[in-house]
Chains A and B, each alone.
Chain A
């Protein structure tokens, strides 16, 4: 049975350890699963798309413009010569063609007028090219010009009376230009892709190197070492922000963990004693009780002991909650004055029953932000102590003031024996009891809770003499509450 339990406990400890190991060694992710690779891919894709768009616009604006320019010139020529045909017939067109050929210094223009019988009437072509042998056709083709083949853009127009007119431009030079342009585009495109790949690779590496510290920290935390923090680069960028947030989170977890650890330590060390005592008493009664009445008494005493233990347990939990700051959720603005008045009312009767006087000096209003039940518990602990330690005809004072900084101060004084200076520093420790107080009932948790509540409210707990110099100086406890 015992063996089983050990095994069951060991298992969940082992799993996170293995998990952490897996994190620390950082297995190579599949290229598609790596976010860095994905970002890099997106970057490269965007870069290449931009390059394509840029090239397309460039191409359309240069090579395309050359083509459009040629076509526009041919079209304008066609219009002008058709008009000449309508106005003056064959002779006017022939004259127009000759004028144009004479004016064409660069020798780019191509014309040919053909009679219905296929005879050439005018122009600088000897033969009608086959590719343009359709009425109204536009064509790119190779023509023979002065014995040399040349690239040409040709347009075939049918005139009235069966005449046909061929208008064209020699585009050899433009084709060469276009080729040059094409080569340039291809080279720059290759360069763009190269840059995209290099950029993507650099980006992926940068991302990985910026994430690596956070990764390593998380891995060591998962491995159980909570002391690691993500180093900051000081660049105040998104990665630093992420790291800072992560560190804040880790600090908080660390605090919570130490709170839990504190409580488990306390439980382990200090709850065992009362449990052992209760157990011993019950066992003793079982073995030696002379009659049923004695046994019953022992059982009743056992139940009372258990109740005391669970009260200690409850107090420990409250302290731990307060120390961990978990109860800050219950914070709300409220008036502390009536709460203090209630505390004085609750304990006033107890003081009176002991012949003591409980005085209060509470302002009319004391607006603070905090946890009402916890503060009452803290003040109740202080008053309980004061009433307990003040002599039978003594005085207890509960006073409160609002500090100029918006915080508040609650003071509880008694005229009992007080606390030796050496003990004051230890008074906030759990289960600490001054030697003089060992005979009075109490758990030694009262002031621990007050201290935890003070810290929770951004304040502090201070102990001092109520009436310094006297034989029994009394105790003055100041519970400071920070401003909201």
Chain B
């Protein structure tokens, strides 16, 4: 993916840029809002990572608002040191697609960038999701593996649906909490792990090939190959 990074802190910018490049992305970096807006308006990007507060008169929110009024729909991930809930709401209202509070783990950033940049095309809603021999039917809300029906609870179904929609991508625990349960809070302990491992047991029981994989220090990922 071609990613625009607008971040004024040199150290954070270097770290994010290096990480994204190592993950196989092309990164353009602008150190302030004005340059960022210029780049975003004149070139094509798959994804933008913006600091919420930027020097040079144009902050992240202004930048996105300007782009959105010009009809630019490039997905935007905000990075911000402002963690209050209304700050998050402000960022998303301005046209941001996701909001990550500093300090963050790079794995979290990468997972969110990839989830945003490779969002499924919304104009053709799938009715079935497939990963290897696992099939999830969104209409009848059933899960089958190799033709064998697996009973899951509604919450587990949504958890699996989210993982399968991002098959091959890492999904972090916070992302699951935000997207599957729709809460922004600190669960203190790894409660999400318990849910995932319960789901994993149901899916993998009787099969020798596990589908849900744990990515160390990051989160989970579902894919056919081990």
Contact = CB atoms under 8 A, between A and B. Distances in A.
A350 B103 contact: no
Interface stretch (B14-22, B34-42, B179-187): B179-187
Interface string B171-197: 000000000010111111101001101
A345 interface: yes
A373 B186 CA distance: 10
Interface string B98-114: 00010101000000000
B194 A380 contact: no
Contacts of A330: 85-86
**A350, A352, A371, most chain B CB atoms within 10 A:** A350
Name the residue in A326, A349, A377, A441 with the highest tally of chain B Cβ atoms < 10 Å from its Cβ.
Answer: A349
B84 A384 contact: no
A384 B189 contact: yes
Contacts of B195: 346, 349
Interface stretch (A84-92, A211-219, A252-260, A306-314): A306-314
B187 A384 contact: yes
A373 B105 contact: no
B100 to A, nearest CB: 13
Contacts of B44: none
A473 to B, nearest CB: 24
A245 B22 CA distance: 59
B181 to A, nearest CB: 6
A342 B183 contact: yes
A93 to B, nearest CB: 97
Which bucket holds chain B's interface residue count?
20 to 34
Interface string A358-384: 000000000000010100110011001
Contacts of B105: 303, 307
Nearest to B153: A345
Nearest to B190: A350
Task: Specify the main secondary structure of chain B where it touches its partner.
Answer: loop
A96 to B, nearest CB: 97
Interface residues of A, number: 34
B186 A315 contact: yes
A349 B185 CA distance: 17
B103 A380 contact: no
A415 interface: no
A103 B83 CA distance: 107
B184 A373 contact: yes
B81 to A, nearest CB: 11
A303 B15 CA distance: 15
Interface string A284-308: 0000000000000000100100110
Contacts, number: 64
Contacts of B83: 314, 317
B186 A311 contact: yes
Nearest to B89: A330
Interface in A378-424: 380-381, 384, 387-388
B149 interface: no
Contact of B186 (A342, A345, A377): A377
B103 A373 contact: no
B187 A373 contact: no
A148 B194 CA distance: 129
Interface in B40-91: 83-86
Interface in B189-217: 189, 191, 194-195, 197-198, 217
A353 B194 contact: yes
A433 to B, nearest CB: 14
Given A310-B103, A373-B85, A345 B155 contact: yes
Contacts of B198: 349, 352-353
B184 A306 contact: no
A377 to B, nearest CB: 4
Contacts of A387: 189
A446 interface: yes
Nearest to A371: B85
B116 to A, nearest CB: 22
Interface string B103-147: 101000000000000000000000000000000000000000000
A347 interface: yes
A327 interface: yes
Contact of B84 (A303, A321, A345, A350): A321
B187 A346 contact: yes
Q: Which of B84, B105, B191, B195: most chain A CB closer than 10 A?
A: B191
B86 A306 contact: no
A380 B86 contact: no
Given A350-B191, A350-B194, A376 B85 contact: no
A380 B187 contact: yes
A350 B189 contact: yes
Contact of A346 (B101, B181, B217): B181
A329 interface: yes
Contacts of A371: 85
B85 A306 contact: no
B103 A376 contact: no
A441 B189 CA distance: 9
Given A300-B217, A315-B186, 14 more contacts: A306-B103, A307-B103, A311-B186, A329-B86, A349-B198, A352-B194, A353-B197, A371-B85, A373-B183, A380-B188, A384-B189, A384-B191, A387-B189, A441-B189
9 contacts: A306-B103, A307-B105, A317-B84, A349-B191, A371-B85, A376-B185, A384-B191, A387-B189, A441-B189
Nearest first, the 8 A-B pairs at minimum CB distance are A349-B194, A377-B185, A384-B188, A353-B194, A350-B191, A350-B194, A349-B195, A346-B191
